[in-house]
Amino acid sequence: MRQFFVLLIFLTLITFTKSFPSSTFRRDSLSGYTQCEGTFPNEITTVSYEPNPAIAGENVTVTIAGMNTVTVQEGATLNATVLYQGKQAFVHNMDFCKVWVEVNGDKCPVSPGYFEYITIMPMESHPDDPKNTTISYDYIFQIYNPGDPKTELTCLKGKFDVSYP
């Protein structure tokens, strides 16, 4: 009889939790980022950075993961466009293979399949930086394969917070 009640409680819990969308219970794996408008062959499904907010003058550890359906070629670039109050503040262009793939022990080309990369990036500071505040920037991350024209593999957009001590 006791086993029956345990089974009944278990089935009730399963029924209760299935009645809610799974997104209600799961953590935002993209940390607020969303895919840009359009279609892209490679999908980033996880984005995170620590510390959050990032701290000017210190390192930030960034993790991305997802699924490639198109090979990432040697010479691929990651372009990070940063906007502040709707205006372009700066653009960072980096060699995706060197900054992301190789520091994780892999090499380009990266064949289709699952990937996960972690990299440490310095958060530069400047004497003119504001003090004792946190600023939320709009970021657009685009990864391109080389060529003419370049092939856009993926695009994400979202907020990136930086604390200025």
Contact 41, 153 (CB under 8 A): yes
Residue 5 located in a structural domain: no
Q: How confident is the model at residue 112 (pLDDT cuts 50, 70, 90)?
A: very high
User: Tens digit of pLDDT for each residue in 121-151?
Assistant: 999 999 999 999 999 999 999 999 998 888 9
Q: Which pLDDT does position 27 carry in this prediction?
A: 57
Residue 12 located in a structural domain: no
Sign, Cα dihedral of 39, 159, 150, 87: positive
Mean pLDDT confidence for 105-126: 95
Percent composition of the chain: helix, strand, coil (DSSP 3-state, to 5): 20, 45, 35
Contact 66, 134 (CB under 8 A): no
User: Tens digit of pLDDT for each residue in 9-60?
Assistant: 333 333 333 333 433 334 578 888 999 999 999 999 999 999 999 999 999 9
Q: Which pLDDT does position 148 carry in this prediction?
A: 80
| 157 pLDDT higher than 60 | yes
Sheet holding 113-122, edge to edge: 43-50, 59-68, 113-122
Domain region containing 34: 27-164
Q: Which pLDDT does position 31 carry in this prediction?
A: 80
CATH for 66: 2.70.220.10
Residue 19 located in a structural domain: no
Residue 21 located in a structural domain: no
Residue 9 located in a structural domain: no
Per DSSP bridges, beta strands 77-84 and 59-68 are unpaired
Residue 51 located in a structural domain: yes
What is the number of domains present in the chain? 1
Question: pTM of this prediction?
Answer: 0.78
Mean pLDDT confidence for 75-98: 95
Contact 127, 19 (CB under 8 A): no
